[in-house]
Chain A
Amino acid sequence: MSVSLTREFTKGFIRENPVFRIVLGLCPVLAVTTSLKNGIGMGFAATFVLVGSNVIVSLVRKGIPARIRIPCYIVVIASFVTVVDLVMAGYTPELHKSLGIFIPLIVVNCIILGRAEAFASKNTVGRSFIDGIGMGLGFTFALAITAAVREIIGTGKIWDLVLLGTRYNPVLIAVLAPGAFITLGLLIGLFNLLERKEG
């Protein structure tokens, strides 16, 4: 059982990474990965919502009629997103300001509703909790990698620190919308390549 739980936890990092393998939740990936700080902040916010909603959905799954399960899941997810929004506004105002509209938009993140429907509604609370953490950290990992690549190429900095020196001429497109698509495409290709080599 413990091996199985470990596998449940680690699947979200590479094998079933929600961004690079399942290609879900791309809206925040494309929008907020202009800096590593934003990427990690969004990743942890989504992880909290994912873990919370997975646990609650798993707890109440037997009492919810199938016909209204989606509205119920959305209420649960929206509640956790509101909690994140309020807590961030009170305790991390700079990050809250920086992520802006993308915090409320976690409600419509496909990964969260997807895990609630595909996993939490069919599994125990413990497994759902582990799945939430694994998938959330996998999502954070994907955001962090994408953001780091874009920030370094697009600004020559990482986490507000100068990395490539003052002589480096930043490739601005990397932090603009086309740069998000190009970087994500290349990273997905890289993950596919790694998968093939392993397989």
Chain B
Amino acid sequence: MIRLTLVLALITFVASLGLGFVYESTVPKIEEQKRVTDELARRTALPEAACGVFVRVKYSAAAGDSFIYYMGYRNADTTQFAGYVTKAAGRGYSSTIETVLGVDGNGKITGMKITHQQETPGLGSRIEEVKTTKSVLDAIKELAGKGETPMVAVDMVDSTGTVRCLEVMLKDQPLCGEIKDLVAGGDTSAVVDLAPKALGLSPEDSTAVFCSPPLAFGVAKGVMDKLRAQATPWFLKQFVSKAKGGLLVATEDTDQYIQAITGATISSVTVTESVREAMTILEEAVGGFKEETP
């Protein structure tokens, strides 16, 4: 019996050592991923502050619970308020679903991003799915070097914010690395040429301003809206511009309402209810939104 115990103990000890080593090696990368995910989620949820700053605020509720939210600003000196960002969490079908949501000063949702979920693959996990129209033929053309120019658009960027803004706006876009290289190399004309062309817009739709240094150029608001719409998961788009009273669960596929995904109703209802709850606490924390919500 002692031998059996010793053998099992030895095996678990060696396994623990190995796992400890792997954990120590991967934890910085995991932490970094989490930090980047949270940062990108805040900027996606509150697009007006995509190139601005966020100030963390801790609110102590009457019940003794603390609630964290961020105040987002369009500029670095925090004089132009853009809205609030907070996190909603609720128990889904097989995991806790965490959602970062942005709310403007009037209490309307400006954007959302799911930052954590372990729902059933293909069902509940589709709440993060971005619709695509790219075909197999497009992929073959790209491989053959005959594909369309990738979409490119950035908001105002400066010498300190260049990389950050590009990462926010172009994270999921093809060839974003190439665009970064163009900007880093100072080849601004190439980047600005690509933006309207890639999005199928006329040159009048985009405006470019060059200052060197700092490097800066802007793209028309319509371009940015189009880019954001293409980068936001279809499920979450249905929350945008809704106040907490307007959050509904519909039963059919329409962009007008939140869709209850077949087989994953629990996941979608969880997101809706947790967001509504978070907005209620946020409203209390900020002392009420400026305008009445419908």
Chain A positions within 8 Å of B, measured between CB atoms, are 31-32, 34-35, 38, 60, 63-65, 67-68, 71-72, 75-76, 78-79, 82-83, 86-87, 89-91, 93, 97-102, 157-158, 160-163, 165-166, 172, 175-177
Contacts and interface: CB of A to CB of B under 8 A. Distances in A.
Contacts of A158: 136
Contacts of B95: 100-101
Contacts of A86: 22-23, 26, 30
A82 B22 contact: yes
Given A63-B7, A65-B4, A161-B134, 16 more contacts: A31-B121, A32-B122, A34-B121, A65-B7, A68-B7, A76-B11, A76-B15, A79-B18, A87-B22, A90-B30, A97-B118, A100-B94, A162-B133, A163-B136, A166-B133, A177-B263
Interface in B63-115: 94-95
Contacts of B128: 97
Given A82-B22, A90-B29, A101-B95, A176 B121 contact: no
Nearest to B262: A172
Q: Dominant SS at the B interface?
A: helix
Contacts of B15: 75-76, 78-79
B262 A101 contact: no
Contacts of B23: 86
Contact of A162 (B3, B94, B116, B136): B136
A96 to B, nearest CB: 9
A77 B139 CA distance: 38
B8 interface: yes
Given A101-B94, A101-B118, A75 B11 contact: yes
Contacts of A65: 3-4, 7
A160 B15 CA distance: 38
Interface residues of B, number: 38
Contact of A98 (B22, B121, B138): B121
A109 B123 CA distance: 22
Interface of B: 3-4, 7-8, 11-12, 15, 18-19, 22-23, 26-27, 29-30, 33, 37, 94-95, 116-123, 125, 128, 132-136, 138-139, 262-263
Contacts of B262: 172, 176
19 contacts: A64-B11, A67-B4, A68-B4, A68-B8, A72-B8, A76-B15, A78-B15, A86-B23, A89-B30, A89-B33, A90-B33, A91-B26, A99-B121, A100-B94, A100-B118, A100-B120, A100-B125, A161-B136, A176-B262
A87 B33 CA distance: 12
A67 B121 CA distance: 38
Contacts of B94: 100-101
The 3 residue pairs across chains A and B that have the minimum distance between CB atoms: A34-B122, A100-B118, A90-B29
A102 B30 CA distance: 19
Contacts of A89: 26, 30, 33
A78 B91 CA distance: 26
Contacts of A76: 11, 15
B290 to A, nearest CB: 36
A99 B118 CA distance: 8
Nearest to B138: A161
B8 A162 contact: no
Given A79-B18, A100-B95, A175 B122 contact: yes
Contacts of B26: 86-87, 89-91
In the complex, which of the residues B4, B95, B121 has the most CB atoms of chain A within 10 Å of its own CB atom? B121
Contacts of A163: 135-136
A66 to B, nearest CB: 10
Contact of A38 (B4, B11, B27, B121): B121
A81 to B, nearest CB: 10
B133 A38 contact: no
A71 B122 contact: no
A176 B118 CA distance: 17
Contacts of A100: 94-95, 117-121, 125
Contacts of B135: 161-163, 165
